[in-house]
Amino acid sequence: MAVRAFLALMTLVWLPYGLYCLFAPDTLETMAGVKALNPTANVELRAMYGGVQAAIGVLVGLALLREWLRVPALTALGFLALGLGTSRLIGCLIEGDQSFYNVSALVFELIVGVVALRLLASLTRDPATV
């Protein structure tokens, strides 16, 4: 039950945000201070902020429907979120940044990563957790 609820929540967070960034990458300038200087940069924003995040949302959404995808989805989500959070923490320390965007994203990413890996561990111990 906890795994399904978490996957549902993650689908509702990652997929819409990814689609939003895919189709409106210029909003990243206001939200995160990231601005594309040319069409190549705009494609990069669409791919990295839009495509990758939407793909995570699709993966965890499919894991709601297909039990065999739950272990790979939680593994991917855990490592991706912790990778983002760890890199963001290092970046914030190097840059001395404490902006609302980075701090809130950092907290979200670290919590999601830890929860995903804990649920993964519980799933592999007790399949009834699903």
DSSP 16-39: HHHHHHHH-TTHHHHHH-----SH
CA distance 24 to 26: 5
Task: Examine the pLDDT at 129 and tell me if it is beyond 60.
Answer: no
Share of the chain above pLDDT 70, in %: 96
- List of residues 6+ apart from 39 with CB closer than 8 A: none
Give the pLDDT of residue 125.
80
Segment 31-59, tens digit of pLDDT: 899 999 999 999 999 999 999 999 999 99
| DSSP, res 96 | T
Average pLDDT estimate for 114-129: 85
What does the alpha-carbon distance between residue 71 and residue 85 come to, in Å, rounded to a whole number? 21
Distance CA 85, CA 27 (A): 21
How many Å apart are CA 31 and CA 100, to the nearest integer? 10
Average pLDDT (109-113) is 98
pLDDT class for 130, splitting at 50, 70, 90? low
